[in-house]
Amino acid sequence: MDPAEILSICQVKYAYFRLLDMKRFAELGELLTEDATTAYQSGELHHDGRDAVVAFLQESLGDPGIVTMHNGHHPEIELTGSDSATGRWYLEDRVIVPAHDFELHGTALYDDRYVKVGGRWKISHTGYERIYEEHLRYSSGEVRSIRAAGQTTTF
């Protein structure tokens, strides 16, 4: 294991989360390979190709009235070759949409694949499996529903 390579991969994912929350989707796209794939929301939302991923993020989160927070913790990075690696991240996220009186708080496990292109690490696949998701009424904090272990409880 080369600590410098591991750190470089971590910095790519840190930038991914930062650029996502700052709504700088074109810059986020530069972190992805051209043929990158995604499998968000336990595979329910999947995309093929950097342009499709960036378009999806812009369409779903680009509204300035939507506030997001994505924190990636506990990276488990494995170098699988001189120019390939895998990674697992524990995600805590929060999405606030005041116009719809909606707030989401959740956790998930990201599974990523990375490749080195032109001497720089890029994300070739990213996606997550939800562990827990809580939907709240933003104005009151009232819990609307909780989804964990594939089961949803509605209040």
Tens digits of residue pLDDT in 30-59: 999 999 999 998 778 899 999 999 999 999
Q: Are 72 and 98 a contacting pair, CB within 8 Å?
A: no
Residue located via tokens 């001189």: 82
Neighbours of 142 (CB within 10 A): 12
Q: Quick count: other Cβ atoms within 10 Å of Cβ 147?
A: 17
Task: Map out the domains of the chain as residue ranges.
Answer: 3-154
How far is CA 142 from its chain centroid? 26
Distance CA 17, CA 1 (A): 24
Cα separation, 155 vs 153, in Å, equals 7
Read off the pLDDT of residues 65-110 as tens digits, 9 standing for 90 and up.
999 999 999 999 999 999 999 999 999 999 999 999 999 999 999 9
CATH number of the domain located at residue range(s) 3-154 in this protein? 3.10.450.50
| Sign, CA torsion 24/36/117/90 | positive
